[in-house]
């Protein structure tokens, strides 16, 4: 087994551990909920911001959302293991 060494992720790991609500981008911090899940918090914050006056494109950009479907969404990883790393949730 090869190990991936990704030191640029260290900030994310250490910061995420101290965050009360993971997955919520700073620009969408007005989101008043905590779903207890990084992926549910991310899409919840994006959708809440859109419903409360933020243009959808701006909310999606803040959350690195590339696509929203009825049952899933696609987002970029802010601290990717490799270039082009995307997440489907």
Residue 57 vs 78, nearer CB to Zn ion: 78
Residue 48 has phi, psi (to 5 degrees) of -65, -45
Q: Which residue has the tokens 């779903």?
A: 35
Residue 59 vs 73, nearer CB to Zn ion: 73
End-to-end Cα spacing for the chain: 27
Site for Zn ion in 34-53 (CB under 5 A): 37, 39-40
Is 63 in contact with 78 (CB distance < 8 Å)? no
Our finding on whether 74 is near Zn ion (CB under 5 A) is no
Residue 12 vs 39, nearer CB to Zn ion: 39
Contact set with Zn ion (CB under 5 A): 37, 39-40
């Amino acid at each position: 087994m090869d190990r991936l060494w990704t030191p640029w992720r260290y900030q994310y790991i250490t910061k995420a551990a101290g965050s009360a609500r993971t997955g919520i981008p700073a620009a969408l911090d007005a989101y008043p909920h905590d779903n207890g899940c990084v992926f549910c918090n991310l899409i919840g914050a994006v959708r809440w911001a859109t419903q409360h006056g933020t243009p959808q494109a701006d909310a999606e950009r803040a959350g690195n959302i590339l696509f929203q479907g009825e049952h899933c969404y696609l987002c970029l990883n802010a601290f990717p293991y490799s270039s082009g790393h995307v997440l489907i949730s």
